[in-house]
Structure 1
């Protein structure tokens, strides 16, 4: 999967999934990740509550992508630190967090 394919898949997933009805106002920004899955994608969007970033973590082949995460993050929480964490770590859920 290329960066462009990852961006397109993420945008489509958000348009048809739980974010359907929200308006994507930005183009996908695709980041390479140092861990698997390989791609982290953000798309600026807005809904009745304001602007936020749609996010995806995915990899594998375009024809059968491996989805790790689809979520939305408020615009004011999309910091360089958040992006760096998303590029280098997978979400781990345990009792210590």
Structure 2
């Protein structure tokens, strides 16, 4: 789970965190005391950190490409989505 994100992190030597509204599944509590996590009330976004700006830029570019593909490609033609669903089915 989250393997696409892990692969990007490994390729770009960066840490990527998805934050904001919708980043935590409905019904899951962010903190043990029930309070929202920092940034949870912000618009959905990716927080990218790395040792070099070059690595940050590589990760951001990959994220942008995935988002563009998800928006512009019809679902039945989205190869990344198909691969993710096959992998999820295999894991379950």
Q: Per the shorter chain, which TM-score range? A: under 0.3
- Is the helix fraction higher in 1 or 2? 2
Bigger relative contact order, structure 1 or 2, given CA contacts below 8 A and separation 6+?
A: 2
Structure index of larger Rg:
2
TM-score normalised by L of structure 1 = 0.25
- Is the strand fraction higher in 1 or 2? 1
